[in-house]
Amino acid sequence: MEVQIETRTPFAAAFKLQTLGYSVIPSGGGDKHKAPLVDWQEYQQRQATDSELETWQRELSPQLWGIVTGAISGIVVLDADTSDTRAALESELGPPHVVTPGGGGHWYFKHPGHHVKTVAGLLPGVDVRGDGGFVNIVGERPDGKYQIVQLPTPDNIYSWDRLPAWIRNALSSRPATRETIGEGALIPEGQRNAHLTSLAGSMRGRGMSEEGILAGLLAENRKRCVPPLSAEEVGRIARSVGRYEPASLPVGSSVQQKAAAPWPEPLAKEAFHGLAGEVVRAIDPHTESDPAAILTNFLIFFGNAVGPGPHAVAEADKHACNLFCVHVGETSKSRKGSAQGQVRELFSRIDPTWADNCNASGLSSGEGLIWHVRDRIGKIQKGEPIIVDEGVSDKRLLVTEAEFSSPLKVMSREGNTLSATSRQAWDSGTLRILTKNSPAKATGAHISILGHVTKEELLRYLNDIEAGNGFANRFLWVCVKRSKVLPEGGGRPDYGSIVPRLHDALEKARKLGELWRDAEAKEMWAAIYRELSEGKPGLLGAVTARAEAQVLRLSVLYTALNGDSEIRPVHLMAALAVWDYCLASARYIFGDALGDPVADRIQDALRQGQEITRTSIYALFARHVSATRIDQALRLLVSTGRAQCKSSITEGRPVEVWYAT
């Protein structure tokens, strides 16, 4: 099924591909000479121009050319690394479009029109190149001709429906990673069952179907088990593990769902103070979106558009109006995007320049975030300073991420700088990565982040490191759901006088500087500060640890909306109402998890009404967790009043029995 484009140069082949509608970029860098040679985030949104291709060819002389996969090019690529993994998939998928030099294969599918994740380790040795992915597609053959090696013609691409259901299901949940799978040494007799059972548990814990688990185990069995187990035995393992619900199995260090808390009560009326409330009341009858989503979208948009002028100072820290917020609700059913679309349209009328130039999406790296707000870049050439890049003059940036699980996943990769850079953006607006390959830096940046995610994805992908290192507590977590049903649509809001008034409010707010609380607000702040600053236990405490700072920023924002020069009690009450809703949302989302995955797993087992021995506790983790680590988790459970231990007298030594308290 390989398709050749007989051209005289790789550049001609790349040019031909571009005319077919694919987003083409130069490649040939990196340790394996397969990496892109340009910052290719931009080309996930648009195709390169003919002149860009010519400039790359002239200045970079690329060894390879590649295609940005996903919606921009209309393709999704399933990549099997070896002949074993290719054989495991071939029976279900049919022959690959390309058999790679190492014996693997590539299958090409038409993009389905909704987001398809780019994942490493869908199965052992199987990757998916979807949205945000990249694949090399042209190189030199031994006979000197150039060939499209990873792309059939559009007519030959498989339909999305040809993918088996278990693969499509796996693409909508978190895959088992290579770290989970554990590539490397061969598995001898005596260890094969335990290894495959542990692997199956990890895959099931990430939501994979029994069929997907079986395919992964068969590939792993052929590759590493010596000698391989029989297909019947592998099937038995897959069936036995596939009976369990995914949430009942531990998955690495992922945060698992804990004891349920009630859905938050509606936002208090104080949150709808002033213009913010008028905007919500104007939009609400015309959308199915949650009023909480409309309000927080509006606050995030206004807080970024106003810039760094209005701010308050707490000790040495400056707190402006830029907020980080994530809306958490059911996918498509909670109308998260609808609320954002309504508010975006409003701001496109108020400040079209900001709407056009200061909005971006696609959080994937710290370097990419810095580049959008970079300072001027210069260097010394022949003893004289020269300007390499003029930088960005407007340092306001609102980053929206419709699939917030994507940045959560990339942050788990070794060396990714997104978490640290995001924290810098919230703290000070001075961003820099101290590596010689990252010359860009930013000062005075005013960055806001607005994301959407489901509760299940958040709990699956927010690991204990990001929950505990301060990344999560810089965000406002907001539960949202559909507020009403409008089968005929809600029509367009009549903003009437809101647009000119909001425009005037924005211009007035930009002239504000440092804000202080008036006498009454100071008294009110003193009364609530202790409660705000007191920590809460477990994971909930970790993700809400900046309560006083978040309330301060919200109060500055409400003050700026009013155009006032002092923070008054009414602004503080509005800020507290929003924070109370965010706190209730966090409690609903994260429950009473401790943030320690081992302790949380033990707590789950104890809450099922069991009294379990230490031996049974080891078995919860298939004996893959050390005694020292389990001791640490049990001490945490005891210190937080969640578990106790008693001794059970037997004919031999006393047995340690644990129970929930």
Residue-wise pLDDT tens digits, 254-277: 333 344 578 899 999 999 999 999
- Max mean pLDDT among 78-82, 121-125, 252-256, 317-321 falls in 317-321
If you average pLDDT over residues 387-396, what whole number do you get? 91
Looking at the chain, the domain(s) classified CATH 3.40.50.300 span 269-353+445-590
Query: What is the rounded radius of gyration, in angstroms, for the C-alpha atoms of the chain?
Result: 27
If you average pLDDT over residues 364-380, what whole number do you get? 89
Superfamily of domain 269-353+445-590: P-loop containing nucleotide triphosphate hydrolases (3.40.50.300)
Does pLDDT of 154 surpass 80?
A: no
Whole-number Å distance between alpha carbons of 67 and 14:
9
Whole-number Å distance between alpha carbons of 105 and 78:
8
Q: Which range among 391-405, 449-463, 553-567 shows the weakest confidence by mean pLDDT?
A: 449-463
Tokens at 73, concatenated: 């090019």
For residue 479, what pLDDT band results from cuts at 50, 70 and 90?
Answer: very high
If you average pLDDT over residues 536-543, what whole number do you get? 80
Tokens at 438, concatenated: 């990252």
**Mean pLDDT estimate for the chain:** 80
Q: Strands, E, within 116-247: which ranges?
A: 119-123, 126-129, 134-140, 146-148, 187-188, 225-226
Does pLDDT of 358 surpass 90?
A: yes
Task: State the pTM of this model.
Answer: 0.58
CA distances, 36 to each of 27, 42, 225, 293, 606 (Å): 4, 13, 36, 38, 50
Task: Choose between 102 and 27: higher pLDDT.
Answer: 27
Is residue 238 within 8 Å of residue 203, measured between CB atoms? no
Burial call 210-224: b when 16+ CB within 10 Å, e when fewer: bbbbbbbbbbbbbbb
Expressed in angstroms, the distance from the first to the final Cα of the chain is 63
For residue 7, what pLDDT band results from cuts at 50, 70 and 90?
Answer: low
Does pLDDT of 134 surpass 50?
A: yes
At 401 the pLDDT is 92
Does pLDDT of 121 surpass 90?
A: no
Does pLDDT of 183 surpass 60?
A: no
Does pLDDT of 638 surpass 60?
A: yes
Whole-number Å distance between alpha carbons of 446 and 425:
7
Q: Which CATH code fits 597-660?
A: 1.10.10.10
Helix (H), strand (E), coil (C) string for 624-656: CCCHHHHHHHHHHHHHCCCEEEEEECCCCCCEE
Whole-number Å distance between alpha carbons of 425 and 436:
21
At 649 the pLDDT is 63
Does pLDDT of 89 surpass 70?
A: yes
Looking at the chain, the domain(s) classified CATH 1.10.10.10 span 597-660
